[in-house]
């Protein structure tokens, strides 16, 4: 697998004269700048950036500095992992849930298909009257309406 050199600066056109000046400029730079200038394009980019923004612009953290920091952190991680490998680790014990040995038996009764099934004839007649006069589609809608109205009325009695 080959690694491609990544240029951290945007590509640009340059002349042979600019490239010559960049090589002369590179001769007076420190080793970190020389390590970054791996291709003529990167060299010219660094040179022009230094010309535009000053030499201190190149002293900001760069990709190379970032890579060096990553290598340093990787080394520290390796040291930590080797120290942890020397220390015996305690086996993790999963929490054991408490199980009730005697669960209560709950009988489930489905709701009646007809919500008015257990009502007397007079209540059924009132529900039918409200359903017809208010043009509601089901007895269940009527019951919800009456419960809501009854609740509001009862609340006014004790409020």
What does the buried/exposed string (b/e) look like for 61-94 if buried means 16 or more CB atoms within 10 Å of the residue's CB? ebeeeeeeeeeeeeeeeeeeeeeeeeeeeeeeee
Identify the band that residue 95 occupies on the pLDDT scale cut at 50, 70 and 90.
Answer: low
Cβ neighbours of residue 141 closer than 8 Å, sequence gap 6 or more = 131
pLDDT digits (tens, 9 = 90+) for 124-146: 899 999 999 999 888 888 888 89
Asked if 127 and 142 touch (Cβ cutoff 8 Å), the reply is: yes
Of residues 84 and 31, more confidence is placed in 31
Identify the band that residue 155 occupies on the pLDDT scale cut at 50, 70 and 90.
Answer: confident
Check whether 28 has a pLDDT greater than 80: yes
pLDDT (mean) for 71-96: 67
**What is each CA distance from 90 to 87, 96, 138, in whole angstroms?**
10, 17, 64
Identify the band that residue 3 occupies on the pLDDT scale cut at 50, 70 and 90.
Answer: very low
Q: How large is the angle between the packed helices 40-53 and 16-26, nearest 10 degrees?
A: 80
Check whether 6 has a pLDDT greater than 60: no
Does the predicted TM-score (pTM) go above 0.85? no
pLDDT digits (tens, 9 = 90+) for 37-75: 888 888 888 888 888 877 776 765 556 666 677 677 777
Domains of the chain, by residue range, sit at 16-85, 121-158
Asked if 43 and 37 touch (Cβ cutoff 8 Å), the reply is: yes
């Amino acid at each position: 697998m080959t690694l491609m050199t990544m240029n951290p600066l945007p590509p640009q056109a340059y002349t042979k004269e600019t490239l010559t000046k960049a090589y002369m400029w590179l001769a007076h730079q420190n080793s970190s700048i020389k390590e970054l200038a791996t291709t003529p394009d990167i060299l010219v980019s660094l040179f022009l950036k230094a010309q535009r923004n000053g030499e201190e612009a190149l002293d900001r953290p760069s990709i190379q500095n970032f890579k060096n920091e990553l290598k340093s952190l990787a080394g520290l991680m390796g040291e930590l992992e080797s120290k942890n490998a020397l220390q015996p680790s305690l086996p993790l014990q999963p929490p054991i849930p408490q199980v009730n040995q005697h669960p209560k038996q709950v009988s489930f009764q489905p709701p009646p298909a007809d919500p008015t099934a257990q009502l007397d004839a007079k209540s059924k007649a009132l529900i039918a009257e409200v359903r017809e006069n208010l043009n509601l589609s089901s007895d269940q809608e009527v019951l919800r309406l009456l419960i809501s109205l009854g609740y509001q009325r009862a609340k006014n009695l004790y409020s």
